A and B are shown apart, each in its own frame.
Chain A
Amino acid sequence: MTIRRPCLIALAAALTGCIQPLRLVRDDSPTVLSRQLIAAPNPAGRGTFRVRTLYYGSGRDKNRVEYRDSVTLKTKTVNGTKFAAAPSPAQGKIRKKYWGFGFDSLPVNGRVWYPEGDGPFPLILIVHGNHDMKDFSDPGYDYLGELLASRGFILASVDENFLNGNIRGENDGRGWMLLQHLKAWKGFNDSTGTPFYRKVDLDNIALMGHSRGGEAVAVAAAFNRLSHYPDDATVAFDFKFGIKGIVAIAPIDGQYEPGNRPTPLENINYLVIHGSHDGDVSSFSGLRQYSRIRFTDGKPWFKSAVWMYRANHGQWNTSWGSGDFGPNSPRSLDLRGLIPMSEQLKMAEVYLSAFVEATLRGKQEYLPLFRDHRVAGEWLPKTMYTTRFGESGYRALASYGEDVEVGSGTAPGVTIAAESLATWKEGIIPLRWQNTNSGHFGTWLGWNNRIAGTDTTKNGKPASYAVSLTDSLQQAWGVNQGTAVVFSLAPTAATPGPRAAPRDTTKKAAPDTGKKTPAPKPPPTPKKIPTALDSLPIELSVEAVDANGNTARVPLSRYGVARKPIEVTVLKRKGRDKTQFASMAELIPQTYVIPLADFRAAAPAFDPARLRTIRWVFDGTRAGTVVLTDVGLSNISPAFFESRRGQP
């Protein structure tokens, strides 16, 4: 007994020691989300329509009664052999035995929530991602179906469970299936005798996808505009549906690449959301697709990427829940840090509902939400968010990816200069999963305003970084009071050391007498005092300078919080995150949109129409490093700022 007890205690201690202690960063939402600046009704609020549901599908489903006996609308199967295949013939047999069909006869099954009324109603398809194929994923978006149908949208949750499991490289198939569903919907809308006869607004369609489905919606939107399948042009495409927006929920990116190139997309609204504690898609991979969205037709498109602290992968789907690694997740993942599922669903309801209201109904009152999450303090669950934002009015001054000259920008004639910086370099902004490319280049700017020496209070002139444009560029772009300075910025954990004292040029050199003068005694090294990691947000000023040299300055914090990197521990085993990921924190630059009118308000002499230089002055925080990217100007629609009305 005397031996056993210490052994048990030692074992318990070892076991406890191997489990990661719960580490959460102090939540700044009480201040960041303290205000509700959008006056419109909460998009997560239930609408006025009575909601009805039905199923459509093959009517022959072996495993699910709803797609066999409860089908209201029968659909034809489709041949998907060009797009997806079992990993091996043996697996193909097993799958066929389970499902009762092969890849040559895939069913077009969906569960629909729709509003009672005459319509026509915008159509939304939502598709799940990869999961255990026998644990059906399509029922898990019921909360969105109920909400959006009550608000006058038709939502169909698409069944692609038969593409789940151990299949790889099938995301073209997932996207192609969505277009087959749209074909079916066209049939429902065109056929008398269906509940949807002339009730579907096929010019206003949105696609939503989760995980692999999050990439599939981008693939579907790309295929929708193509004449042929890029990987086998013997397959002709003829879709051309009115897809106006896509939503990617914790998506992957790059599983399928058409013609071995990342999926390009243009002229479409795009929203991507991702959780910090995603135990499946560990990095914010959707930022890559976000970076590839281009707006070229002059129409008012926008894109937004929202990162939510403490959200995971599965809680966007009520069938998946917290188990991002499947049923054994509690063994691998630290689930204690997760936000409750109800909160995560609430966030999805707010953003996704606002997105379809803005995209499919043109409700501009919701647009500010996609620019800055701080405008919806009452709607959003109280946690931390980071928002990337872009819209079709944006023009790049410096994107940092076009060349290796740090002194030049992206647009013609743009010059870049820096003063007193300790770090100044350009590079790819990495994702924390194996340092993979996020699709963005940026510039690393590090400073320490303290002068080296024994006097720790002695500061030099604040470091700064400036982007200047030419007269002709300013005129060509029509820069005026309605223009906004747009950039994205993220602090890093790096802190450069104090800068060297400036050389005193007034001192005369001593005449050479031939005698060696003894070197001055170095000052005693001050005792190092351990200090806690500085978690305070970075503060700095943004300056605008006009052609006359008039300078206006605003504090960055007014336009969003510049948080230090938020370290996240997803895995339960102590130390596993450090070995699993290239970084403990995801580097996600927050987008700041600062109207030139605000500079004018700060300094009335400043003339926005004669803007010459935008300068970041590192005067608020003594030392630090930030990554700056996507610096530009935008003649942004005032609708993105409606929330500012009546605000000081």
Chain B
Amino acid sequence: MKSTLLLAIGSLALGAVPLSAQYEGTVPLVLKLPGGARALGLGNAFTAGRGPEVIFYNPAQIGLNRGTTLSLQRFGSASTLGALSTAGPFGKVAIAAGVQYLDYGADLTGLTPEPGDLTRRGALNAASLVAGIAVQYIWKGVRFGAGAKYAEERVATGRDGGLLFDFGAGREFGNVTLALAVQHVGSDIGFAGYQAKVPTRVSLGGALPRTRLGTFFDLGLAASVARERDGRIVPAAGAELVYAPVDGWTFVARAGVRRTADGSSVTRAESPVSVGGSFGLDRLWVDYAFEPYKGPGATHRIGIRIQ
């Protein structure tokens, strides 16, 4: 009864807004969230990352590691994010596909929250979805990638979406990978009676993939700097320490920092610090990441990867 009432109020609220009004935020919300447990553990500095989840960051990087990953992220007990992605070479190109789905609660205004608000569930059932494919081709030693995806936001009974595109390039300079990505390019999405911008971002990333540190230890580094649609510059960096005592057994500890945006309230926000870890047994990996939140709740992400 209560939920029906809230739904009715929400629908009324959405219906009260003129269609031509411009929404100040960006949607879909899922595009502003990490694409995988490893990426979250590295502070979301994954523009030059590798692995199937890199489809959510840079299509130019999808051909570096063949595999499939499935992950689930909980924001307190309020929201849940699930992701599935796969990547692999097909002849001279690499192809990847990925889907992310966020279940959360929007507040009665019907507007989507910021990622920092996800540990609090609003009254209206909402979901955010992105599903896409990407292709990568190497030309003169440079990896070029392009992706197309459908993204949508659903709040209460309202549902709007659109087609977006990603572009990227990357190459190795010695042991360092440098990569550039332009993500979420597309026209505004009609959403909840608003015209909402998509969260287009340009990011430049670098990564030093596992470099031997000692007999049983490797170190990996990642960094990126992104310009968000609202003009914010978001630097991020992460490091992972790998312990490989015996062939096929791998333990990884990671930590990352990034600039985060406040939530809708000063009492809520994502933490700039995240940590994580992985355990790999041959081709099977379990990944985990944790990010504390300002205010109540925190987020945990766990993933399974076959690589």
**Interface residues of A, Cβ cutoff 8 Å to B:** 15, 18-19, 90, 327-328, 330-332, 571-573, 576
Contact = CB atoms under 8 A, between A and B. Distances in A.
A396 B245 CA distance: 51
Contacts of A331: 215-216, 244-247
B212 A15 contact: no
Interface centre among B244, B247, B248 (most CB of A within 10 A): B247
Contacts of B216: 330-331
10 contacts: A18-B246, A19-B246, A90-B141, A328-B244, A330-B215, A331-B244, A332-B246, A572-B246, A573-B246, A573-B249
A327 to B, nearest CB: 6
Top 3 A-B residue pairs of the complex, sorted by shortest distance between their CB atoms: A332-B247, A573-B247, A330-B215
B212 A328 contact: yes
Contact of B247 (A90, A327, A571): A571
Contacts of A18: 246, 248-249
Given A328-B212, A573-B249, 17 more contacts: A15-B245, A15-B246, A15-B249, A18-B248, A18-B249, A19-B246, A327-B212, A327-B215, A328-B244, A330-B216, A331-B215, A331-B216, A571-B247, A573-B246, A573-B247, A576-B247, A576-B248
B247 A572 contact: yes
Nearest to A323: B215
A511 B247 CA distance: 72
A14 to B, nearest CB: 9
A330 B244 CA distance: 10
Contacts of B141: 90
A481 to B, nearest CB: 57
Interface string B210-226: 00100110000000000
A561 to B, nearest CB: 34
Contacts of B248: 18, 573, 576
A327 B249 CA distance: 17
A181 B187 CA distance: 69
Contacts of B212: 327-328
A458 to B, nearest CB: 50
Interface residues of B, number: 10
Contacts of B246: 15, 18-19, 331-332, 572-573
A19 B246 CA distance: 7
Contacts of A90: 141
A572 B245 CA distance: 10
A573 B212 CA distance: 20
A638 to B, nearest CB: 52
Nearest to B247: A332
Contacts of A15: 245-246, 249
A571 B248 CA distance: 12
Interface in B238-254: 244-249
Contacts of A576: 247-248
Contacts of A327: 212, 215
Interface in B248-287: 248-249
Contacts of B245: 15, 19, 331
A327 B246 CA distance: 13
A90 B140 CA distance: 9
A19 B244 CA distance: 12
A174 to B, nearest CB: 28
A579 to B, nearest CB: 11
Nearest to B281: A18
Contacts of B244: 328, 331
Interface centre among B212, B215, B246, B249 (most CB of A within 10 A): B246
A328 B215 CA distance: 6
B48 to A, nearest CB: 20
Nearest to A576: B247
A18 B249 CA distance: 9
A90 B244 CA distance: 32
A332 B215 CA distance: 11
Interface in B127-149: 141
Nearest to A330: B215
A323 to B, nearest CB: 10
Nearest to B218: A328
B24 to A, nearest CB: 46
A192 B194 CA distance: 94
A589 B285 CA distance: 44
Contacts of A328: 212, 244
Contacts of B247: 331-332, 571-573, 576
A576 B281 CA distance: 13
Interface string B158-187: 000000000000000000000000000000
B250 to A, nearest CB: 9
A122 B215 CA distance: 43
Nearest to A328: B212
A132 to B, nearest CB: 12
A576 B246 CA distance: 11
Nearest to B141: A90
A646 B244 CA distance: 58
Nearest to A326: B212
A468 to B, nearest CB: 53
A529 B244 CA distance: 42
A426 to B, nearest CB: 38
A22 B245 CA distance: 16
A18 B247 CA distance: 10
B176 to A, nearest CB: 15
Nearest to A333: B247
Contacts of A332: 246-247
Contacts of B249: 15, 18, 573
Nearest to A574: B246
A571 B249 CA distance: 13
A468 B141 CA distance: 68
Nearest to A571: B247
A328 B247 CA distance: 9
Contacts of A572: 246-247
A18 B244 CA distance: 12
A15 B243 CA distance: 12
A320 to B, nearest CB: 16
A35 B95 CA distance: 67
Nearest to B212: A327
Nearest to B216: A331
B143 to A, nearest CB: 13
A299 B43 CA distance: 74
A588 B197 CA distance: 74
B288 to A, nearest CB: 13
A15 B246 CA distance: 8
B290 to A, nearest CB: 16
A571 B215 CA distance: 16
A529 to B, nearest CB: 36
A90 to B, nearest CB: 6
B121 to A, nearest CB: 29
A9 to B, nearest CB: 16
Nearest to B249: A18
Contacts of A330: 215-216
B218 to A, nearest CB: 9
A166 to B, nearest CB: 15
A497 B220 CA distance: 58
B113 to A, nearest CB: 34
Interface in B45-63: none
A194 to B, nearest CB: 42
A87 to B, nearest CB: 14
A15 B212 CA distance: 21
B96 to A, nearest CB: 24
